[in-house]
Amino acid sequence: MKKVVDLIDAEVWPEGSLEVLSQFEVDQLKNDGAGGLYPMLRRCMLAVLHADSKIDDTRELLEAYKDFEVGFIQQDRGLKVSLTNAPAEAFVDGKMIRGTRELLSGRFALDESDGITNAVFHIVRNARMLRLPAEVNLVVCWGGHAISRGEYDYSKLAGYELGLRAMNVCTGCGPGAMKGPMKGATIAHAKQRIKGGRYIGITEPGIIAAESPNPIVNSLVIMPDMEKRLEAFVRLGHGIIVFPGGVGTAEEILYLLGVLLHPDNQRQPIPLIMTGPASSEPYFRRIDEFVLATLGEEARSRYQIIIDDPREVARQMSARLTDVLDFRTKHGDAYFFNWRLRVDREFQRPFVATHESMRDLDISEDLPSHVLAANLRRVFSGIVSGNVREDTAELIEREGPFEIKGSQRMMKLLDALLTGFVADQRMKISTGAYRPCYVIK
């Protein structure tokens, strides 16, 4: 049966993003051919307008709104956007929700590590993410978009405790564990009379349709790819809290641990706390066991696990941010962007999940721990892509599931972790029973 959706046509003035553009930039936005930005812009705008959706299947969303179109009207005041067949939930009595309207908003050596970091810096700076005078109080919160109600409520409580201690929140901008901490922090900021609370969302085109920005986000940036998104998190954030999730959350954990395991980052104080209600303890126990068995005790020493105590999570984070402040001050590093952190090229190179690229990943026990972490991160990245990207899902439908190969011990550990995710329904929610997009060889 065809899904029936409510649609609306409108003209809006985006706030803080499209007021001043050159004719060349406008032409690029309109162009849906090779090199044009229209397909990406349409996809991202649809995701923003479809905030709070229960749909996390990109193809289902794009099919439901296949007639959605974006147009541009140039006027003296700037660029006006026309929307045709837009999701009606973005409007109240025919007028667009202001938070949604605000969110409708180079030349770099991308073959070099420093050039990629420079590109990340320019993107977040141009998106007005960097504020002066800067403070060391931005906490990145990772976690799943399809979590249980109890886990969501817990993430709100943790965000509330962070907000009471004047900390701001940065997440992947979607629902679930990305929305909960922001929602809790807003209440705490109001109680503490903190004006200008920051609720930063960082996403990328491949997943934005499946994880549409939640309406609490007041500063949104769409990075070009997953790798630059992850680097933006660790460069902007001062500490990281991980709530329950699934394979995408595991990817983020492995990314950060791999970065921290690089010899140049041994003294980098980046607080990492994994937390959730008592019901989510098995999830973190599986993650902890997997990290110890694959990356070793050094990786395990870089994080804390605190179960069912959001107040203690906030206390620990607040205390450890003092170490971050001292380190940045001592080394003369910026408070608003972690320039000293070494992000190896293996964590920056965009990974495109194909049958060949997934099959060729080296999952060997004799690799340096940070290199093994990079390859394990790519495994999870490929599975995320197979779960949420419509182009990857179509590839798997044509050619079958991805094959993941490696040493017998590593494959046994990986299979046990992924099987646990599936059993706990931590992979996908929209289409009922999960059908794996991979096989372990």
Query: Partners of 284 in the beta sheet?
Result: none
Distance between CA atoms of residues 23 and 25, nearest Å: 5
Domain residue spans in the chain? 7-103, 106-441
pLDDT at 441: 84
Q: What token pair was written down for 350?
A: 């965009």
Q: Which of 121, 185, 182, 174 is nearest to 144 (CA)?
A: 174
pLDDT at 77: 47
Tally the C-alpha atoms within 13 A of residue 6's C-alpha that lie toward its C-beta. Answer: 9
- Say whether 106-441 and 7-103 share the same fold: no
pLDDT at 1: 43
Flag whether pLDDT at 152 surpasses 90: yes
Q: Which amino acid is at 428?
A: K
Question: For the chain, what percent of residues have pLDDT higher than 90?
Answer: 54
Tens digit of each residue's pLDDT (9 = 90 or more) over 285-326: 999 999 999 999 999 999 999 999 999 999 999 999 999 999
User: Is residue 202 very low, low, confident or very high in pLDDT (cuts 50, 70, 90)?
Assistant: very high
pLDDT at 146: 82
- Rounded to an integer, the average pLDDT of 65-73 is 79
pLDDT at 103: 58
State yes or no: cis peptide before 133, omega within 30 of 0. Answer: yes
First and final CA of the chain: distance in angstroms? Answer: 37
pLDDT at 429: 53
Distance between CA atoms of residues 118 and 123, nearest Å: 9
- Rounded to an integer, the average pLDDT of 269-286 is 96
pLDDT at 213: 86
User: Is residue 275 very low, low, confident or very high in pLDDT (cuts 50, 70, 90)?
Assistant: very high
pLDDT at 71: 79
Q: At residue 84, what are phi and psi to the nearest 5 degrees? A: -120, 130
- List CB contacts of 356: < 8 A, sequence separation 6 or more: none
pLDDT at 46: 75
Distance between CA atoms of residues 30 and 222, nearest Å: 18
Range in 191-205, 243-257, 265-279, 381-395 the model is least confident about: 381-395
Pairing of strands 78-87, 69-75: antiparallel
User: Are residues 284 and 303 in contact, defined by beta-carbon separation less than 8 angstroms?
Assistant: no
Q: At residue 58, what are phi and psi to the nearest 5 degrees? A: -60, -40
Tens digit of each residue's pLDDT (9 = 90 or more) over 321-356: 999 999 999 998 899 999 999 999 989 999 999 999
pLDDT at 38: 76
Q: What token pair was written down for 192?
A: 């503490």
Question: For the chain, what percent of residues have pLDDT higher than 70?
Answer: 86
| CATH homologous superfamily, domain 7-103 | MoCo carrier protein-like (3.30.1850.10)
Flag whether pLDDT at 76 surpasses 50: no
Query: Is the CA virtual torsion 113, 118, 124, 126 positive or negative?
Result: negative
Flag whether pLDDT at 413 surpasses 90: yes
User: Is residue 280 very low, low, confident or very high in pLDDT (cuts 50, 70, 90)?
Assistant: very high
pLDDT at 125: 87
Q: Which of 439, 269, 265 is nearest to 344 (CA)?
A: 265
Range in 48-57, 240-249, 259-268 the model is least confident about: 48-57
User: Is residue 51 very low, low, confident or very high in pLDDT (cuts 50, 70, 90)?
Assistant: low
Distance between CA atoms of residues 440 and 434, nearest Å: 16
User: Are residues 106 and 124 in contact, defined by beta-carbon separation less than 8 angstroms?
Assistant: no
CA distances, 419 to each of 247, 403, 427 (Å) = 11, 15, 10
Flag whether pLDDT at 400 surpasses 90: yes
Q: Which of 153, 138, 248, 142 is nearest to 199 (CA)?
A: 138
Flag whether pLDDT at 440 surpasses 60: yes
Architecture category of domain 106-441 in CATH = 3-Layer(aba) Sandwich (3.40)
CA dihedral angle for residue 213, residue 215, residue 218, residue 224, rounded to 10 degrees: 10
CA distances, 304 to each of 108, 281, 339, 411 (Å) = 37, 13, 25, 26
pLDDT at 228: 95
Query: Is the CA virtual torsion 173, 178, 179, 182 positive or negative?
Result: negative
As a whole number, the mean pLDDT across the chain is 86
Flag whether pLDDT at 36 surpasses 70: no
pLDDT at 362: 93
Flag whether pLDDT at 102 surpasses 90: no
- Rounded to an integer, the average pLDDT of 167-189 is 95
* Ranges 41-55, 150-164, 388-402, most confident: 150-164
- Residue 423 neighbours by CB distance under 10 Å: 11
